[in-house]
Structure 1
C-alpha cells in the first residue's frame, strides 16, 4: 500500500470508506465486554460485509459475488 501523508485521508478513498463503515456499523454501536466479545462481533461483521453487503465499487455486488464472477 502506498504511503499516505498525514491529514490527507482522501489519498486512499477505499481505506477511508472501509474504515468509516467499520466505525459506524460496529465500533460506534457496541460496548465490548471482553476481547473475545470484540473478536466475535468483528468476525460476524466481516462475514456480513463480505457475503451480504452490496458494494458500490463492485457494481453493487457482494465481494463474494464479485470474486465468483471473475
Structure 2
C-alpha cells in the first residue's frame, strides 16, 4: 500500500551491513556454535540471556569499553534536564521528515 521498496544487501557483500554482520558473527561464535538447544523453550531462554548480557553487561569497544548501561547513564548526565529521556518521549525534539512515494510526491506533509 505504501509502495515501499526493499533494498537487499547485494549477494557476496555482507559489509553493506557491517553492524549486523559483526553481531551475527559474535552470536554465532559465542552462542550458536557452542550450544545444543534441547527444545524451543530452551533456545528462547538461552538466547534471551545471551542477548541481555550482550546488550546490558558486556563492555563494547564502540563505547570506549564501557557497558551500554554505564555509557547510557553517563550520557544521560550530560543532557540538559528537560531533554533527558524519561522512558517515554513526551514530545518530539524534531519534526519528522516528510514521507514520499516512488514518484517523489509527499504522502505526509511536513510540520
User: Do the structures match in fold with TM over 0.5?
Assistant: yes
Runs of 4+ in 1 over 3 A off after TM superposition: none
TM-score normalised by the chain length of structure 1: 0.85
Structure 2 gaps, min length 5: 1-6, 76-111
- Superposed, which structure 2 residues align to 1:1-70 within 5 Å? 3-70=8-75
Distance (whole Å) between structure 1 residues aligned to residue 27 and residue 10 of structure 2: 22
Equivalence for 2:102: none
Q: Name the structure with the higher helix share.
A: 1
Instruction: Indicate the RMSD between aligned Cα atoms, in angstroms.
Output: 1.4
